[in-house]
Structure 1
Amino acid sequence: MEANVGKTDRLIRIAAGLVLLSLVFVGPQSWWGLIGLVPLATAFINFCPAYRLLGVNTLGK
């Protein structure tokens, strides 16, 4: 697995993941908030499988 998630992309993924995950505990309290684990996981491992399929790399050189 070659890293393909850059710093800015990583910060956005962490923020989006935390917001989505908070939906489990506050607001509508829906289990759909667990989808927030996906952006969090891709942020922490610096790899996004969808980016690989699409040929996107936000990491730079």
Structure 2
Amino acid sequence: MKKNMGLTDKIIRIAAAIFVAILYFMGTISGMIALVLGIFAIIMVITSFISFCPLYIPFGISTRKKE
């Protein structure tokens, strides 16, 4: 598994996940929307920690800086 996520990409994904959590705990989102957004938030956090996004592979995208 080759890393393909840069620092900015990781920060944006974690910020989006935190935003979803805030919306949920404030009661702004609930039900099926909360469940779907929660799953996406968990996926975003996991991909941020492992620095790998499988959706980038088919498109040849990498946000990492060249070494």
Where does structure 1 lack aligned partners over 5 or more consecutive residues?
none
Of 30-39 and 7-16, deviating more is 30-39
Which residue of structure 2 aligns with residue 60 of structure 1? 65
Distance in 1 (alpha carbons) for counterparts of 2:46 and 2:23 = 17
Q: Distance in 1 between matches of 2:18 and 2:59?
A: 25
Moved more, 48-57 or 22-31: 22-31
1-side partners of 2:21 and 2:37: how far apart?
5
Identity rate, percent: 36
* CA RMSD between the two structures: 1.4
Shift of 1:40: 0.8
TM (normalized to structure 2)?
0.77
Using CA pairs below 8 Å that are at least 6 residues apart, which structure has the higher relative contact order?
Answer: 2
**Structure 1 length-normalised TM:** 0.83
Alignment partner, residue 41 of structure 1: 46
Deviates more, 1:1-10 or 1:14-23: 14-23
> Equivalents in 1 of 2:50, 2:4: separation in Å?
10
